[in-house]
Amino acid sequence: MKRILVLCSGNSARSQLAQAYLQHFANTVDDIEQAEVYSAGVKPKGVNPLAIQVLAEDGIDSSHHTSNHADEYVHIPFDFVITVCDNAREQCPFFPSAGELIHHSFPEPSHMEGKDKLTAFREVRDLIKAYSQEFIATRLAVNKPISTP
């Protein structure tokens, strides 16, 4: 089983969305988990309720997620550490056992101009969902069709 850590600045939105979708797509093939997915922040702020809401709209319950500091996970051997914002990449703690460090920046939904916050969260959710499905399909060789909300 692979271990994946998703890092963001506050572990409130983007990393929470990525954790949920990576876990969702990795939990395929007769409901056998292909990966353990964690998320953390360099300055955790708590899980944004809009992140929970837009995941629920897509049938994913993330109400049990917590906002954690990256330092809590330095002892875990990760196969992949994914940073989903530039700030997290720049401030990423050293993970001596990280197999592969990957960076893919997504917009911060709370700061997208010209859009109401719920619309911004939905747009970022959809970007992260597509990325997560592709990541699992290519890195873990697991395929699962995207369901639409």
Q: In whole numbers, what is the pLDDT of the chain averaged over residues?
A: 87
Distance CA 62, CA 82 (A): 19
Q: Is 44 inside a domain boundary?
A: yes
Distance CA 76, CA 36 (A): 11
User: What is the 8-class DSSP label of residue 79?
Assistant: S
| Catalytic machinery residues | 8, 85, 92
Residues of the chain by 3-state class (helix, strand, coil), percent to 5: 40, 20, 45
Structural domain span for residue 74: 2-139
Q: Please tell me the pTM assigned to this model.
A: 0.87
Q: Is 81 inside a domain boundary?
A: yes
pLDDT for the residue 144: 46
Provide the terminal-to-terminal Cα distance of the chain, rounded to the nearest Å. 29
pLDDT in tens, 29-79: 556 678 999 999 989 999 999 999 999 999 999 999 999 998 899 889 999
CATH number, domain with residue 85? 3.40.50.2300
Q: Are 44 and 69 in contact, with CB atoms under 8 Å apart?
A: yes
